[in-house]
Chain A
Amino acid sequence: MNRIASLGLVAALALTAACSNRADNLSGSSDLAGDRYGYGSGTGAGGIANPASAAYFQAQVGDRVLFPVDQSSLTAEARGILDGQARWLSSNPSFSAVIEGHADEQGTREYNLALGARRASAVYDYLVSRGIPSSRLRTVSYGKERPIEVCSEESCYAKNRRAVTSVSSGAGV
């Protein structure tokens, strides 16, 4: 067990990629579509016009795939999007990615955390199968903690059952 003195140390050691996950990081490339959690806003330079930017990846390649209720298997549509992600990651080797798994609000907090991890892992496995080195990828689950749509209907749930690939350049994950 890794006992440490304070959380400050953990924060100091935190991976740079994590910065793009923070809810308070709302300023970066906020002109883009996306959401208030700053997904895909990344740390990469350049706007949407730059094909080697996180903004381009998010808007043009597609940073997310959606899942059916209580499922973590990839649909044909999802695999198509992930093929594009894999191509982009292959041609932009300085970028690494955190894959964030999410669930809709139907389900308990614990189960949805585990379900979000399955979804993130499904994307991770697919990208690795398409030749992306696992050293450039990490996964995290938010369960039902970070909805992007707030209604309590299937139209919103469908968008919340997602895995988002959040890319950033520089330090690896």
Chain B
Amino acid sequence: MRRLTTACLAALILAAPALTPALAQEARGPLRIEITDGVIEPVPIALSEFVTSSMQGQAMVQDMLGVIRNDLEGTGLFRAIGREAFISPVTNFDSPVAYADWKTINAQALVTGQLEHTGDQITVKFRLFDIFSEQQLGEGLQFSGRPDGWRRIAHKVADAIYSRITGEGPYFDSRVVYVAETGPKDARVKRLAIMDQDGANVKYLTDGRDLVIAPRISPDNTRVLYTSYSSGFPHIYEMNLNSLSVTAVDDQPGSMTFSPRYAPDGRAILFSFEQGGNTDLYRLDLGSGSRTRLSDAASIETAPSFSPDGRQIVFESDRSGAPQLYVMPAGGGEPKRISFGAGRYGTPVWSPKGDYIAFTKQNQGRFHIGVMRPDGSEERLLTAAFLDEAPTWAPNGRVLMFTRETPGSGGAAQIYSVDITGRNLQRVPTEGSGSDPAWSALMK
């Protein structure tokens, strides 16, 4: 397989734009969306045609604007204003912005851009303007890459717009590893797959012959851990995303290994090891192969996840009689229970920002995706359905994807996303059914 990274992207600050960014803020302050405010009304944004000279370029501009619009509107925070409402088309990237024309159509933000398409390279420059305070938001940016990397460039533009207006980290230029599902409930075929976070560029990584579950992508986005029944018994394997070569991680006969997760530095993993019916947590150093037992109890210990600083582990255990969430030092030690609400808690995942732990909760016949602080406080349920499980964090720690499965004989799994306020529940477009999403870090 061709290397997954096709575009070599370079970002650089544009030299002296025609408009000097205003130093003094108006009393109103610059445009800013606070995600935690629970925004009801999306911000109207004008995505002007990117200026381009070639016919080829014009088609690509339409495609890129479509991706940017889809990214921004998909957050629920933005609404792209229809182009038919525009009063004055932008024909020169360096011309002064006609703020009055954009105010008239109630645009609060404006994006202008330029696309150069020369031979084997495209270069996109863009600027973002706050219409009401009449100032540019941040410097102009430029991204270059091969023409077939146009989607990534569009995601990077959308990421810059999103970050500048929300103050949150970017996440559109990222991928999702998941399990693509086909077939009826009692004869389901599962294949590992990887796609862009918006559902584009799907690639299947396994052929469906072996049952595979719960993939995790390495922090550098080059490797995938997953559990496969290829030997007839569930064991953890690691796949190199460039070569697609597969390595057994821990496949001792007479045992079962599952629920792996990378350390923040990608050099160690946590996983569950089962022998004689008892499941405990282990840590494996991928370089040396040295293995450390982290728990030793008759109860089930599974679904471990590192804190982003690598110093703590959150996991699920039924030592109290029912599955609950616990935090312990990364080297093992006395676990501290953090979940105390009614119901059963599982699959905890520490946010990449460190501020929340997402989890699955099962209570009174319903499943929920929820978040709580790492000390267990401020528990908040974001979803409710017949079966929701397995949350995974966007690189910026502000959006979650998870699996939602419908009930009954025709039941099927789909991947959904929701933001940490519980707003903007959306189905993530996949070819057919999908489950067990694992959101990558931002692409390099």
Contacts and interface: CB of A to CB of B under 8 A. Distances in A.
A10 B230 contact: yes
B390 A108 contact: yes
B339 interface: no
Nearest to B183: A23
Interface stretch (B6-14, B45-53, B269-277, B371-379): B269-277
Contacts of B245: 5-6
Interface string B217-238: 0000000000011111110010
A11 interface: yes
Closest 8 CB pairs of A and B: A18-B232, A121-B277, A1-B289, A152-B407, A108-B346, A114-B279, A114-B300, A150-B409
A113 B256 contact: yes
B397 interface: no
A10 B276 CA distance: 22
Nearest to B276: A121
A106 to B, nearest CB: 7
Contacts of A107: 344, 346, 362
Contacts of B284: 1
Contacts of A151: 408-409
Interface stretch (A41-49, A50-58, A81-89, A139-147): A139-147
B2 interface: no
A76 interface: no
A130 B406 CA distance: 42
B303 interface: yes
Interface residues of A, number: 55
A136 interface: no
Contacts of B386: 152
Nearest to B280: A114
Q: Which of B189, B274, B347 has the most CB of A within 10 A?
A: B274
Nearest to A10: B231
A122 B234 contact: no
Contact of B213 (A1, A13, A109): A109
A105 B276 CA distance: 23
A125 B276 CA distance: 9
Interface string A109-143: 11101110110111011000000000000111110
Given A18-B233, A24-B209, A145-B211, A110 B254 contact: no
Interface size class of B (residues with CB under 8 A): 35 or more
A150 B184 contact: yes
A101 to B, nearest CB: 8
B272 A110 contact: yes
Given A109-B213, A113-B256, A125-B277, 14 more contacts: A1-B250, A2-B248, A2-B251, A7-B237, A10-B231, A11-B231, A17-B232, A108-B346, A108-B362, A109-B389, A113-B234, A114-B302, A118-B277, A120-B277
Contacts of A149: 186
A107 B232 CA distance: 23
B313 to A, nearest CB: 15
A33 interface: no
B35 interface: no
A99 B160 CA distance: 54
A18 B232 CA distance: 5
Contact of A140 (B233, B248, B276, B316): B233
